[in-house]
Amino acid sequence: MPSKKLDMNRTMMGPLKKIIYNCKQATFLIEKRAFGKISFREWIELRIHLYGCSFCRLYNEQSRSINTMVKELFRSSGGAGLRLDDNYKRDLQERIDKELNK
């Protein structure tokens, strides 16, 4: 018969595994944090995941750099005249749709 301590570890590891091994959720939280607030629980989950996942840490750094560059671009030019080419937007939308439909 399993001990109570072993059952407690199994109970705790279920939710912890979902946090540790869920890069999709981590990248969502990284982007959500960049454009708004995340809850304390989400912040803890993200910190736990980033501690153990070098890929998401790199994604986090790259995301912050990109967001900083875009903000600076709009700040320096006032955003005047900045538009994506219609063909580029159409191609990008097709690529997004293709990935979503996999």
> Which residues, 6 or more positions from 67, have their beta carbon under 8 angstroms from its beta carbon?
34
The answer to whether residue 12 scores a pLDDT higher than 60 is: no
With helix as H, strand as E and coil as C, how does the chain read?
Answer: CCCHHHHHHHHHHHHHHHHHCCHHHHHHHHHHHHHCCCCHHHHHHHHHHHHHCHHHHHHHHHHHHHHHHHHHHHHHHCCCCCCCCHHHHHHHHHHHHHHHCC
Distance, in Å, from the CA atom of 67 to the CA atom of 11, rounded to the nearest integer, reads 38
According to the model, what pLDDT value does residue 5 have? 52
Q: What is the pLDDT of residues 27-79, one digit of tens each?
A: 999 999 998 999 999 999 999 999 999 999 999 999 999 999 988 888 876 65
According to the model, what pLDDT value does residue 8 have? 46
